Amino acid sequence: PPSPPDSVTVEEVTDSTAQLAWSPGRDNGSPITNYIIQTKTPFTVGWQRVNTVPEVIDGNTLTATVVDLNAWVEYEFRVLAKNGVGVGEPSPVLVKTRTEDAVPDAAPGDVGGGGGSRYELVITWE
């Protein structure tokens, strides 16, 4: 399998995307066919494959945009290379990158209230 990709960097971050760039590691005699990007957050168990643009990152592409991220969350990214022999070891983990904050996209629903004691009102919402 190929060596880990080198020099992985986060080029640009928004509230829902992160653009990554890297340089290829050694292909070890079998051309790199594609790259896989994985992420980990404080809310996930282990590393998860993520959605990217382009959807399939071919062996000649050295940048990709990770999409469908959540706002104001710390992400760790790593890149793996694949060739005809298999998937190589992951790149070194980047420092944690926080997506930007964003305004809520919907108002709270099912707002209700009542009860409580004197000088207290309990309000609930989803």
Q: What is the pLDDT of residues 32-81, one digit of tens each?
A: 999 999 999 999 999 999 999 999 999 999 999 999 999 999 999 999 99
Residue given tokens 């992420």 in the structure block:
39
Question: How many Å separate Cα 5 from the centre of its chain?
Answer: 17
The predicted pLDDT at position 42 comes to: 94
Tell me the sheet residues that pair with 124.
112
The predicted pLDDT at position 118 comes to: 84
Banded pLDDT at 24 (limits 50, 70, 90):
very high
**Structure token digits, residue 56:** 């399939």
The predicted pLDDT at position 74 comes to: 96
Q: Among candidates 68, 65, 43, 69, which has minimal Cα distance to 52?
A: 65
Of 26-30, 106-110, 116-120, the poorest mean pLDDT is in 116-120
Instruction: Tell me the pLDDT of the chain averaged across its residues.
Output: 94
Q: What is the DSSP letter of 65?
A: E
CA distance 123 to 62: 50
Q: Which residues contact 51 (CB under 8 A, 6 or more apart)?
A: 66, 67, 68
CA distance 104 to 35: 33
Q: Please state whether beta strands 18-23 and 6-13 pair in parallel, antiparallel, or not at all (unpaired).
A: antiparallel
The predicted pLDDT at position 94 comes to: 78
CA distance 123 to 120: 10
